[in-house]
Structure 1
């Protein structure tokens, strides 16, 4: 994934965030613990924020 263009990385992370959000909803509806998925979601959001900042700094 390192050699992919930044836009592709951002799109992939957004897709992963959508999937994780869906998984968390399903776990919660089933009455199961979603803490691990929530932690992964937070990490992916931070990764996306970092990529977005890099994209903005490269565009300047």
Structure 2
């Protein structure tokens, strides 16, 4: 799933406190969300959380090796 779709899914679930992380550890900003592939989420999908919970979305660029 691309990062934009992941954000859309979170927001449709009423979750807006989203933190974005570059999964390579390089600290890059996720500027064009559709160019990034979602690799992890914390807390994991399916976990029940409060509406104000911080959700960390980790992604890498599609052309990262």
TM-score (norm 2): 0.29
Give the helix-richer structure, 1 or 2. Answer: 1
TM-score under structure 1 normalisation?
0.31
Richer in strand (by share): 2
